[in-house]
């Protein structure tokens, strides 16, 4: 069983889907801490309801990046964290944390990377960009986190068609359902050490 931290900034519906998978016996991780930059995030409430400690950590409350990073590493160590799952986390993870947890930090993005990603591409903007581009498919990408936004090696992708009748809201709803259905598979694969990373290629059974 891997000890896992969840980083989130918002509603945490993906976190809830992971908790549900754990409760149904599909996912074998212990969520030992939930870390949020936003103390009002509903995802923090989901953690509390499930007996998972919540730590509010925002860069703005620290005098320097170094102090912030040191506190983050201290919290991860105090909760014996072995892997990190980002579930709607809107902040960049400090390089020292990425380094310490190399290939053990997952993120989910609501489109098919490397398209429609990068800084500022979140929420409805992603789906509107997909529609504006005229893409005929969209989907989800689960990737390992590196030092840039949405750029680490891809672990899992699933796609869905984009019918002519879609708007950003309808597309967002179907993509989110796809996220809930699949994110746990990548989390489980990392937790079970089933993945091999060679350059940008991630192989292994999901």
Binding mask 48-87 for ligand GRF (x = CB under 6 A): ---------------------------------------x
Q: Which of 138, 137, 155 is nearest to 146 (CA)?
A: 155
Exactly one of 4, 6, 7, 13 binds ligand GRF (CB under 6 A); that residue is 13
Let me know: does 105 contact 93? Beta carbons within 8 Å: yes
Is 139 a binding residue for ligand GRF by CB under 6 A? The answer is no
Distance, CA of 205 to chain centre = 20
Cβ contact 97:16 at 8 Å: no
Query: Which of the residues 109, 127, 143, 182 is marked catalytic?
Result: 109
Cα–chain center distance at 144: 9
Asked about 109 being catalytic, the answer comes back as yes
Interacting residue with ligand GRF among 4, 84, 98, 110 (CB under 6 A)? 110
- 164's CB contacts (< 8 A; 6+ apart) are none
Beta bridge partners of 33: 5
Q: Given candidates 2, 14, 36, 138, which one binds ligand GRF under the rule CB under 6 A?
A: 14
Is residue 11 within the footprint of ligand GRF (CB under 6 A)?
A: yes
Catalytic residue annotation:
109
Kindly list the residues in this chain that would bind ligand GRF in the complex (CB under 6 A).
10-14, 43, 87-88, 108-110, 176, 179
């Amino acid at each position: 069983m891997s000890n896992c931290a969840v980083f989130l900034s918002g509603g945490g519906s993906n976190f809830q889907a992971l908790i549900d998978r754990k409760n149904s016996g599909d996912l074998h991780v212990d969520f030992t801490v939930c870390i949020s930059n936003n103390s009002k995030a509903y995802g923090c409430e989901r953690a509390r309801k499930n007996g998972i400690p919540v730590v509010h950590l925002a860069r703005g409350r620290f005098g320097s990046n170094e102090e912030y990073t040191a506190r983050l590493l201290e919290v991860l160590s105090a909760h014996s964290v072995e892997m990190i799952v980002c579930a709607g986390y809107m902040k960049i993870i400090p390089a020292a944390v990425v380094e310490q947890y190399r290939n053990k930090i997952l993120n989910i993005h609501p489109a098919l990377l490397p398209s429609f990603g990068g800084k500022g591409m979140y929420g409805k903007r992603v789906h509107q960009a997909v529609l504006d581009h005229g893409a005929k498919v969209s989907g989800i990408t689960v990737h390992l986190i590196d030092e840039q936004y949405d750029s680490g090696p891809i672990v899992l992708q699933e796609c869905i068609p984009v019918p002519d009748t879609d708007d950003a809201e309808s597309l967002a709803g179907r993509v989110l359902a796809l996220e809930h259905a699949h994110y746990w598979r990548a989390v489980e694969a990392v937790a079970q050490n089933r993945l091999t990373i060679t350059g940008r290629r991630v192989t292994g059974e999901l």
